[in-house]
């Protein structure tokens, strides 16, 4: 790591360590993740990132009903810019992936996100509103021939694509709106609406974990996944304690209705965290 007031340069190389219930855990030497991450801060309200990531996993794995396949060997090249101009907010990112995936199939894929927002500091509850569009490419056919399905690597899950966690950043369009409200200094209320549809109807709907969830091989189920509504309420009770609760509902569209018995999904939760 090399950090200065205006710039940061971080290089890393990691191997995952999987828990072993029978003994000491050890690193998985068949899987390697490395990269270079550069950050530039022209001023206190603007940040620019450029990154190059490399992922290699030669260890075969078996999915339910599948056969052992190599996970892949590919690079992810991308950049992001985020900033605040007189309470007008922006956040955009693009990334390109090149390499091989699955059974040494060529991989060419990409993602993009564009967000614009406004902080209304003169209104009650100090609201911030965002309008965002997320895109991740998909293949014409599920794991057949060259792949165009973006690989989301190690995702942050529901932080970006809804708290039900049924939609990952692979083969997806997401037009979403978000509002952040502060009824008190120690309370944050977040409201979100996501509108999902597949980038390619012949590819799968991928869960937040990256695993394929629903599929229409002949692309006859349509591409509209559905709408999701999220309400998240966080109480910052003290320097070490937070109470988080929320409700989420996904109303399934044509694709979910045509690929399974269950098309709607809901989530209600209560979580307390204590930092020490």
- The CATH number assigned to the domain with range 2-19+26-178+196-222 reads 2.40.160.100
For 1-70, give the DSSP string: -EE-SSEEEEEEEE--B---TTS---B-TTEEEEEEEEEEEEETTEEEEEEEEEEEEEEEE--TT---EE
pLDDT over threshold 80, residue 61: no
pLDDT interval class at 169 (50, 70, 90): very high
Helix (H, G, I), strand (E, B) or coil at 118: strand
* Cα angle, residue 100 at apex, residues 94 and 102 outer, rounded to 5°: 110
CA neighbor of 53 nearest in space, from 28, 34, 73: 34
C-alpha of 88 from chain center = 24
Q: What is the mean pLDDT of residues 150-161?
A: 86
Q: How confident is the model at residue 64 (pLDDT cuts 50, 70, 90)?
A: very low
Look at residue 19 in the predicted model and tell me its pLDDT. 80
Q: Which helix (H) or strand (E) holds 231?
A: strand 224-236
pLDDT at 21: 84
Could you tell me which residues come within 8 angstroms of residue 246 by beta carbon, excluding any fewer than 6 positions away? 163, 230, 231, 232, 233, 267, 268, 269
Q: What is the pLDDT of residue 190?
A: 97
Q: How would DSSP label each residue in 170-211?
A: SSEEEEEEEEEEEEETTEEEEEEEEEEE-S-TTSPEEPTTS-
pLDDT tens-digit series, residues 228-252: 999 999 999 999 999 999 999 999 9
Q: What is the pLDDT of residues 15-50, one digit of tens each?
A: 988 788 888 988 888 889 999 999 999 999 999 999
> What is the pTM for the complete model shown?
0.90
pLDDT attached to residue 63: 55
**The token pair that represents 218 in the structure block:** 């002949």
């Amino acid at each position: 790591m090399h950090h200065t007031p205006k710039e940061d340069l971080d290089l890393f190389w990691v191997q995952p360590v999987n828990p072993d219930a029978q003994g000491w855990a050890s690193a998985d030497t068949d899987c390697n993740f490395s990269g270079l991450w550069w950050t530039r801060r022209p001023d206190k309200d603007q940040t620019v990132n450029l990154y190059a990531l490399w992922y290699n996993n030669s260890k075969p794995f078996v999915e339910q009903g599948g056969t052992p396949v190599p996970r892949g060997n590919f690079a992810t090249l991308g950049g992001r810019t985020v900033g605040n101009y007189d309470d007008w907010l922006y956040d955009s990112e693009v990334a390109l992936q090149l390499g091989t995936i699955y059974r040494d199939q060529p991989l060419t894929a990409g993602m993009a996100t564009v967000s614009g927002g406004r902080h209304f500091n003169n209104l009650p509850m100090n609201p911030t509103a965002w309008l965002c569009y997320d895109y991740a490419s998909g293949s014409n056919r599920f794991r057949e021939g060259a792949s165009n399905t973006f690989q989301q690597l190690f995702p942050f899950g529901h932080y970006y694509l809804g708290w039900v966690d049924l939609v990952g950043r692979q083969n997806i369009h997401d037009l979403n709106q978000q509002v952040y409200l502060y009824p008190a200094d120690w309370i944050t209320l977040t409201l979100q609406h996501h509108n999902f549809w597949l980038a390619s109807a012949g590819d799968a709907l991928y869960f937040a974990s990256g695993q394929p969830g629903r599929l229409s091989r002949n692309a006859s189920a349509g591409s509209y996944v559905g709408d999701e509504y999220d309400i998240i309420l966080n109480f910052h009770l003290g320097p070490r304690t937070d109470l988080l609760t929320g409700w989420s509902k996904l109303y399934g569209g044509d694709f979910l209705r045509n690929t399974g018995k269950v098309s709607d999904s809901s989530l209600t939760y209560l979580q307390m965290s204590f930092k020490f």
